[in-house]
Chain A
Amino acid sequence: MLSLQPLNPKPSSLYSSTFTPPNSLSPKTLKPIPAFRPSRNFYPSIHSMLQYNRKPQLAGDTPRVVVITSGKGGVGKTTTTANIGLSLARLGFSVVAIDCDVGLRNLDLLLGLENRVNYTVVEVLNGDCRLDQALVRDKRWSNFELLCISKPRSKLPIGFGGKALVWLVDALKARDEGGPDFIIIDCPAGIDAGFITAITPANEAVLVTTPDITSLRDADRVTGLLECDGIRDIKMIVNRVRTDMIKGEDMMSVLDVQEMLGLPLLGVIPEDSEVIRSTNRGYPLVLNKPPALAGLAFEQAAWRLVEQDSMETVMMEEEPKKRGFFSFFGR
C-alpha cells in the first residue's frame, strides 16, 4: 500500500472518502477505483492493475431488440447469441435471449439450460402458462433469462408469429421489475417463416458470417431483406476466422469480407476449439477463466454492441513472435 501513496496528492482524504472495503484480500482489489486514477500512459506499470471496474456506456433506447441472423446455417448464430448474451449479463445489463430457431432449437443446450425449459411461447399463446413461467432464469447470472419459442414437436401458428413476438417485447417492457436492457433473438437459418417471425420486433441486427463465399452470398441476401424490412442498424460479426490461413492467402481476410458486404464490423471471432468444448459443457466460452481467444473476442463484440460502436482496426494474420536467438533453430 505504501508504494501507492506517492501517486496521490492527498491520499488520506481520498482513501477515506472513496475507498470501499473489498471483499477479498487479493491485492488487486485494494487498488483505488478508477475515478481518480492517473492518466493512462502516465504510470504504465500500474495501468494493468487498475483495469477493473470499467463498464461500457449503454447507447440507445432500452430495450435494445437485437436479432442475430445469418442466412446460412451453422455459421455461429447460436454461439454468438449465447456468448454475447452472457457477456452483456456479466456487464450488469438485464438480458432476455429468445430462441427463435423453431425447428432446430439449441440455444438452451449451449447455455446448459436444457433441463429447465418447461414452457415456451407456444404454451403462452395457448394459454397453458403465463409469460413469466416460460422465462428460464440462468442461475449463474440472474439477470439473464432464456425464452424458447416452441418445443421441437409443436407447431407455431405462423400467421401471427411476428405479431406474437411484438407482444412479447411489449409485455417484457411492462414487467414489474422493469424491462430488460437487451432482448437478443437467435434467428433460424434461411429466409423462411421463422426468419420473418424473428426479425419482426427487432430494431437492429447482427449479421454473423464466416469468411467463405457461400456464407457471404447468403449474408448479403439477408442484409438486403433486413434493409427492405426497415432495419437500418446492421453490423456484422465475422466468425471462424483462421489467421493462419489468411496468411497463406487460403482464406479471405476480414477486410475482404467487409469489402464485399459493406457493413460495419462488430467483431471478429477466431476459430477456436474451445467453442466446441464449451458447447459440450453447456457453459459459454465467455465465462472461461482464463479467457479463451474467442471468448475475449465475443466479449469485445458485446462491449461494442452496448456502446453502438464498430471496429476501427482488425486483427489480420499471425506474426511470428520475436523470440530469442535460439528460436532460429526451432520451427
Chain B
Amino acid sequence: MGASMWSLQLHTVSVPVPLEAFWRYNSTRKRTFKKLNIVANGDAKNSKNLPHQIMVVKSNKPNLPVLLQDAVTKLQESVKSIPPPSLLVKKHSGVSLPIALSTMVTLLVIILRNYVAKRSKPNRPGSVADLVRRGQLRSDRRGISNPLKYNDPFNNPLVKVSKSNSTVEMCGQVYRLAPVTLTKEQQAVHQKRRSRAYQWKRPTLFLREGDSVPPDVDPDTIRWIPANHPFATTASEIDEDLAQTNVYQKHGVPFRIQAEHEALQRKLEALQSEQKLGKLVIDPGAAKDFERPFKTRLKTEEQLDQGPYNRQMGSNSSESEGARDSFVNQHSSEEMDKP
C-alpha cells in the first residue's frame, strides 16, 4: 500500500508543468482516500487520529463511499464528544480570527506529525514482522521471503578503498593493500616444478589388500584398500548397471525397494499356495519375519569375505570372532537400514 502511494507521488513530481495541477489534485484526493481506508480498517492505534482526518475528508469530499460510512459514524461520535471549536468561535466573535488560525495551525501540525510518524514506521500491523515478534518466525531466517538485494561485496558501505588505492577500510579497520605480482610465466614454472615432483596416475583399479594383481594392469594405477577401511569398500555387492539407472531415475519406485517388495510378494504367494492359507489375513508382523532372511543373506556374504582380513590384521580377533562379528554386522546393518 505504502509503495503504491509513493510511486504515485513520484509521478506527480515528474510530470511536466501543465498537467501538474490536475495531478496534484488527483493525488491529494487519492491520498485522503488512502488515509480513510486505513481508518476504515482501523484499529485502536489509528482511532486517536480520527478527528483530524475527518476534517480533511469533509473539506475534500462531501460524498463518502459506502464502505466508509461505518467509520464515519464512529468518527462523528468522537467528534461530537469533544467541544466543537465553532461554539467557542461564536461566543467570542471578537477573537475568532486568531483562534481559528491557531486551531488551523495546530491541526496542521498534528496532521504533519502523524504523516511523518507513519512514514518513518515501516511495518504495518499484520505484516510478517508480527510473526517474528510472536516467535513464529526467526527474523534472521527469512531468506526466502526477503526480496534479495544483490549486495555487491566490493562496492559496499563496509568496504572503502582509499583514493590512492593503497589502503582499504573493511568493517572499520584499515588494511594496507599490495598488488599481486604473479605472472603467467611464474605460474607455468610452478606447474613444471610440480609435475616433476609429483608423478601420479589416477588409480583405476581398487583392490583389497591380499588380492592378487590381475595381469596386464599397470601397478601404478592400483589402489590398495585396507579391509578394515572405515568407509571404503571394494566389495561390489551393488550391481553397477542397476545403480546407474537408479541415479538417473526420476520417478517411481527405486529398484531395491521394488525388488524387496516383489520378493516378499513371491514368498507370500508360495507360502499361500503351499499351505493353502489363501484366506488367511497376513499381518505386518509376519511380513517382517519374511523380510529378515532376505536381508541377512546379503550380509552373511559380505561377512564371509571380510572375515579372514580381520583375523589377518589382528584387530580384536578371538575365537569367538565369528559370533561377535555377526553381531556387529547385524547391528550396523540395522542402523543402516533405517531411513
Residues of A within 8 A of B (CB): 1-2, 5, 11-12, 15-16, 19, 21-26, 29-30, 47-48, 51-55, 90-92, 102-103, 118-119, 124-132, 139-142, 150-151, 153-161, 163-164, 167-168, 170-171, 174-176, 192-194, 196, 220-221, 223-225, 227-229, 243, 253, 255, 258-259, 261-265, 283, 287, 289-293, 296, 299-300, 303, 310-321
CB pairs A–B below 8 angstroms (23 shown) = A51-B157, A119-B339, A126-B243, A128-B339, A130-B250, A130-B254, A153-B335, A153-B336, A158-B225, A161-B232, A225-B200, A228-B198, A243-B173, A243-B175, A264-B187, A291-B156, A296-B156, A300-B153, A303-B153, A312-B180, A315-B168, A318-B173, A321-B172
A223 x B154 contact (CB < 8 A): no
| Among B200, B247, B339, contact of A171 (Cβ-Cβ < 8 Å) | B247
B247 x A129 contact (CB < 8 A): no
Chain A residue with minimal CB distance to B224? A193
From residue 190 to 236 of chain B, which have CB atoms closer than 8 A to chain A? 190-191, 194-195, 197-203, 206, 223, 225, 229-236
Which of B119, B171, B225 has the largest count of A CB atoms less than 10 A from its CB?
Answer: B171
A313 x B153 contact (CB < 8 A): no
Q: Is B152 an interface residue, CB under 8 A from the partner?
A: yes
| Among B119, B246, B335, contact of A25 (Cβ-Cβ < 8 Å) | B119
A125 x B246 contact (CB < 8 A): yes
Chain A neighbourhood of B46, CB < 8 A: none
B182 x A313 contact (CB < 8 A): no
Whole-angstrom CA separation of A88 from B143 in the bound complex: 14
Of B7-15, B73-81, B88-96, B310-318, which stretch is located at the interface?
B7-15
Whole-angstrom CA separation of A167 from B198 in the bound complex: 29
Q: Is B97 an interface residue, CB under 8 A from the partner?
A: no
Chain B neighbourhood of A258, CB < 8 A: 180, 182
Chain A neighbourhood of B177, CB < 8 A: 313-316
Chain A neighbourhood of B197, CB < 8 A: 224
Given A1-B9, A155-B231, A53 and B247 touching (CB < 8 A)? no
* Shortest beta-carbon contacts, A-B, top 5: A262-B190, A127-B256, A224-B198, A140-B143, A299-B153
Q: Is B148 an interface residue, CB under 8 A from the partner?
A: yes
Q: Is B109 an interface residue, CB under 8 A from the partner?
A: no
B247 x A167 contact (CB < 8 A): yes
| Among B141, B179, B200, B336, contact of A228 (Cβ-Cβ < 8 Å) | B200
Whole-angstrom CA separation of A131 from B177 in the bound complex: 46
Whole-angstrom CA separation of A102 from B6 in the bound complex: 54
A321 x B152 contact (CB < 8 A): no
B123 CB to nearest chain A CB (Å):
9
Q: Is B108 an interface residue, CB under 8 A from the partner?
A: no
Q: Is B263 an interface residue, CB under 8 A from the partner?
A: no
Chain A neighbourhood of B203, CB < 8 A: 196
B14 x A5 contact (CB < 8 A): yes
Q: Is B170 an interface residue, CB under 8 A from the partner?
A: yes
Q: Is B286 an interface residue, CB under 8 A from the partner?
A: no
Chain B residue with minimal CB distance to A89? B143
Whole-angstrom CA separation of A54 from B248 in the bound complex: 36
Given A228-B198, A313-B180, A316-B178, A124 and B140 touching (CB < 8 A)? no
A52 x B150 contact (CB < 8 A): yes
A167 x B182 contact (CB < 8 A): no
B149 x A127 contact (CB < 8 A): no
Residues of B within 8 A of A (CB): 2-4, 6-7, 9-11, 13-16, 119, 122, 140-141, 143-144, 147-159, 165, 167-182, 186-187, 189-191, 194-195, 197-203, 206, 223, 225, 229-238, 240, 242-244, 246-252, 254-259, 332, 335-336, 339
Chain A neighbourhood of B249, CB < 8 A: 130-131
Chain A residue with minimal CB distance to B195? A227
B151 x A321 contact (CB < 8 A): no
Given A289-B140, A319-B167, A176 and B250 touching (CB < 8 A)? yes
B152 x A90 contact (CB < 8 A): no
Chain B neighbourhood of A47, CB < 8 A: 155
Whole-angstrom CA separation of A312 from B179 in the bound complex: 6
Whole-angstrom CA separation of A142 from B123 in the bound complex: 25
B177 CB to nearest chain A CB (Å):
5
A59 CB to nearest chain B CB (Å):
16
A159 x B234 contact (CB < 8 A): yes
Which of B2, B198, B255 has the largest count of A CB atoms less than 10 A from its CB?
Answer: B198
| Among B4, B13, B257, B339, contact of A1 (Cβ-Cβ < 8 Å) | B13
Chain B residue with minimal CB distance to A169? B247
Chain B residue with minimal CB distance to A167? B247
Chain B neighbourhood of A174, CB < 8 A: 248
Chain A neighbourhood of B147, CB < 8 A: 23
B304 CB to nearest chain A CB (Å):
16
A51 x B335 contact (CB < 8 A): no
B229 CB to nearest chain A CB (Å):
8
Known: A12-B16, A158-B206, A194-B232. 8 other contacts (CB 8 A): A131-B249, A157-B236, A157-B238, A160-B236, A164-B243, A193-B232, A224-B198, A265-B180
Whole-angstrom CA separation of A141 from B4 in the bound complex: 28
Chain A neighbourhood of B182, CB < 8 A: 258-259, 262-264
B191 CB to nearest chain A CB (Å):
6
Given A227-B194, A319-B174, A140 and B187 touching (CB < 8 A)? no
Chain B residue with minimal CB distance to A40? B155
